[in-house]
């Protein structure tokens, strides 16, 4: 069995890796110690023989009892190995790259490049392989390499030399292994990849190279097994073989599981993302083509992964753009709805505004109508009012009886006999006894009548003045009858005993204030005295004229 279906590794590679692991596997402490001692002994033997074969000068950098590192550095340039092999078998290594200076021991390869080192080592390995010697990896001469394999190869060369010196009779064997029938070509191909690990050789590029590699791996395996068993005692071999086989089975199962998992992951991702058919196709009819198909499959998987990654990015970008587009669409739709709602709101508001404006107009119209009606009613009222005043009489005469002045009420008898509404009866002397006479007036005020009661009959006439009618109120009577008292008031005047003039002016300005929104009135006052048929202006500040004591009445002009 070289490979399983769909696997990108061969059984040989698994076994080889396990053998390497086994080679490097930590052993028990005592075994390790013993192995270290044995390895050191074998290394010393190899170094001693190489120094002897190469000569002291050529092998001066290789100590007689070198450590692993000294052994590796001493042989790293490949010069000693090639020269010794050429001495044993002339021309076995046709071309040897010599060092530029005397010393072949250059700590980190400053004088010789890695390629030059590799050339010598490679040529040695090719020649050794051709002879049938166990070889080693070129990387074993690098830091971290397996120096025991180099030691083993050198001791095999020693054995071969001794066999040749003994006459070369029969078939040379080393450690019980028959000389393998190998081809140089295979090793050349293999070693053209310096410092590579064994697994890298198991990735063929085509079927032909897969065959070559398979054969090569088999030979490499043989070498590994040979190297692994060569230093073992017979009783250790069964246990070692069992351990190696167990490891091989575990490693193989592990790799199969990993391959299947990888395949399943890629298949699932690809199917989910693109819905395309699977790119993974494996053929099971030809085991010889499995590795090539696996290799091709790997390329396909990588290409698919790359395509998948690119497609996934494009898909994500498209989905993102689609989401933005959808969001903008929904925003636009929302804006349209908002605009429609605003439009409807505006129309509703406009309708309400027109409606309220219409209602307001109607209300104002009603108010204007009511106002005009009010003015009509007011005018009618005024007309009727003044008509009533006219009916009462344009000339009205009132009679007021003055009471006795203080201190005279007991010594005089009143002449007033009887007072009844508009009539007053006066006692008059007569030669036939007592007489009496009656007089009629609009109204007769007795001695107990107050200033307010007297003004109450004058008050309606003040309103007629503001309605544009001419009104004249005056008092007539003999001296001391109470004219001044009635028209103005007593000397110690108060709001209670104010006469007709003060009360009339107060009412006049009060009504003017009430009507100020509709009518503007101008008020002026003039005060004259007629005495002994002489008229005098009492408001003139002439020393000859008598100044009226209540001139402040002039201040009652309207604003
Ligand atoms: N109704 C009344 N009640 C109380 N006292 C009165 C009344 N009428 C007049 N008097 C008093 O009588 C006096 C004379 O009044 P008054 O001066 O008004 O008379 P008169 O007619 O104006 O006099 P004259 O013509 O000389 O000016 C005053 O002292 C006044 O206070």
- pLDDT digit string (tens) for 177-192? 434 444 333 333 333 3
Q: What is the pLDDT of residue 119?
A: 84
Ligand 1: distance of its center to the CA of 498 in Å? 14
Residue 180, Cβ density class (10 Å: 0-12 exposed, 13-18 middle, ≥19 buried): middle
Task: Return d(Cα 122, Cα 70) in angstroms, integer.
Answer: 20
Closest by alpha carbon to 198, among 20, 424, 398?
A: 20
Token pair for residue 20?
């390497």
490 lines ligand 1 (CB under 6 A): yes
SS3 assignment, position 201: helix
535: region left, alpha or beta (phi > 0 left; psi from -120 to 50 alpha): beta
Q: What is the pLDDT of residue 411?
A: 63
SS3 assignment, position 326: helix
Ligand 1: distance of its center to the CA of 139 in Å? 158
Token pair for residue 158?
């020693």
414 annotated to bind ligand: no
435 lines ligand 1 (CB under 6 A): no
CATH class as words, domain 11-278: mainly alpha
Query: What is the atom index within ligand 1 of the atom nearest the CA of 447?
Result: 1
173 annotated to bind ligand: no
484 lines ligand 1 (CB under 6 A): yes
Say if the ipTM goes beyond 0.90. yes
Ligand 1: distance of its center to the CA of 504 in Å? 20
Ligand 1: distance of its center to the CA of 93 in Å? 175
Q: What is the pLDDT of residue 329?
A: 93
Report the helix count and the strand count for the chain, using DSSP H and E. Answer: 14, 9
Ligand 1: distance of its center to the CA of 448 in Å? 14
259 annotated to bind ligand: no
446 lines ligand 1 (CB under 6 A): no
Do 146 and 136 form a contact (C-beta atoms < 8 A)?
yes
Which CATH fold would you assign to the domain 398-517? Kinesin (3.40.850)
Residue whose CA is at the smallest distance from ligand 1 atom 1: 402
Task: Return d(Cα 274, Cα 267) in angstroms, integer.
Answer: 11
Q: What is the pLDDT of residue 480?
A: 92
SS3 assignment, position 5: coil
Residue 123, Cβ density class (10 Å: 0-12 exposed, 13-18 middle, ≥19 buried): buried
Q: Which residues of the chain have pLDDT under 50?
A: 1-6, 100, 102-111, 176-210, 212-213, 276-284, 286, 543, 547-559
208 annotated to bind ligand: no
Q: What is the pLDDT of residue 176?
A: 44
Query: What is the atom index within ligand 1 of the atom nearest the CA of 490?
Result: 31
- Return the sign of the alpha-carbon dihedral for residues 361, 367, 370, 376: negative
Give the relative orientation of helices 290-392 and 237-274 as an angle to the nearest 10 degrees: 40
Whole-angstrom CA distances from 343 to 274, 329, 330 are: 48, 21, 20
Provide the residue ranges of all domains of the chain, joining segments of one domain with +. Answer: 11-278, 398-517, 522-559
Ligand 1: distance of its center to the CA of 314 in Å? 123
Report the percentage of the chain scoring pLDDT > 70: 70
479 annotated to bind ligand: yes
485 lines ligand 1 (CB under 6 A): yes
Same topology, domains 11-278 and 398-517? Answer is no
143 annotated to bind ligand: no
């Amino acid at each position: 069995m070289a490979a399983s279906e769909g696997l990108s590794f061969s059984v040989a590679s698994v076994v080889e890796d396990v053998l390497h692991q086994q080679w490097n596997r930590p052993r028990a402490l005592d075994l390790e110690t013993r192995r270290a001692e044995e390895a050191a002994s074998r290394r010393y033997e190899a170094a001693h023989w190489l120094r002897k074969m190469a000569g002291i000068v050529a092998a001066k950098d290789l100590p007689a009892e070198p450590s692993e590192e000294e052994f590796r550095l001493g042989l790293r340039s490949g010069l000693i190995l090639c020269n010794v092999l050429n001495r044993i078998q002339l021309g076995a290594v046709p071309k040897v790259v010599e060092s530029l200076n005397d010393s072949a021991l250059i700590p980190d390869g400053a004088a010789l490049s890695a390629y030059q080192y590799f050339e010598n080592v490679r040529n040695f390995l090719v020649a050794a392989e051709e002879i049938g010697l166990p070889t080693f990896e070129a990387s074993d001469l690098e830091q971290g390499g397996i120096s025991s394999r180099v030691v083993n190869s050198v001791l095999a060369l020693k054995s071969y030399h001794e066999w040749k010196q003994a006459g070369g009779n029969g078939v040379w064997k080393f450690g019980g292994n028959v000389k393998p029938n190998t081809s140089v070509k295979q090793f050349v191909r293999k070693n053209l990849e310096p410092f590579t690990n064994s697994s890298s050789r198991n990735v063929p590029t085509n079927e032909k190279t897969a065959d070559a590699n398979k054969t090569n791996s088999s030979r490499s395996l043989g070498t590994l097994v040979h190297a692994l068993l060569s230093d073992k005692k017979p009783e250790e071999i069964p246990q070692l073989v069992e351990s190696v086989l167990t490891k091989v089975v575990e490693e193989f199962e592990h790799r199969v599981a990993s391959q299947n998992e990888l395949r399943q992951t890629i298949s699932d991702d690809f199917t989910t993302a693109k819905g395309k058919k699977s790119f993974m196709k494996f053929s099971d009819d030809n085991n010889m083509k499995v590795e090539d198909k696996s290799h091709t499959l790997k390329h396909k998987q990588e290409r698919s992964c790359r395509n998948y990654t690119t497609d996934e990015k494009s898909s994500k970008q498209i989905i993102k753009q689609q989401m933005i587009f959808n969001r903008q669409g929904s925003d636009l739709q929302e804006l349209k709805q908002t605009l429609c709602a605003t439009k409807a709101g505006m129309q509703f508001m406009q309708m309400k505004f027109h409606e309220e404006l219409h209602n307001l107009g109607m209300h104002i119209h009603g108010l204007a109508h009511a106002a005009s009606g009010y003015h009509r009613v007011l005018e009618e009222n005024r007309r009727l009012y003044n008509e009533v005043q006219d009916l009462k009489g344009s000339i009205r005469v009132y009679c007021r009886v003055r009471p006795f002045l203080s201190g005279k009420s007991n010594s005089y008898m009143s002449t007033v006999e009887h007072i009844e509404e508009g009539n007053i009866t006066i006692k008059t002397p007569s030669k036939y006894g007592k007489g009496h006479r009656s007089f009629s007036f609009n109204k007769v005020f007795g001695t107990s009548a107050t200033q307010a009661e007297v003004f109450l009959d004058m008050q309606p006439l003040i309103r007629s003045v503001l309605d544009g009618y001419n009104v004249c109120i005056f008092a007539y009577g003999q001296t001391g009858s109470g004219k001044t008292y009635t028209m103005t008031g007593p000397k110690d005047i108060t709001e209670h005993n104010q006469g007709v003039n003060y009360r009339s002016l107060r009412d006049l300005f009060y009504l003017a204030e009430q009507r100020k929104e509709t009518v503007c009135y101008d008020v002026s006052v003039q005060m004259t005295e007629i005495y002994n048929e002489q008229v005098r202006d009492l408001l003139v500040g002439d020393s000859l004229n008598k100044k009226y004591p209540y001139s402040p009445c002039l201040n009652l002009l309207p604003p």
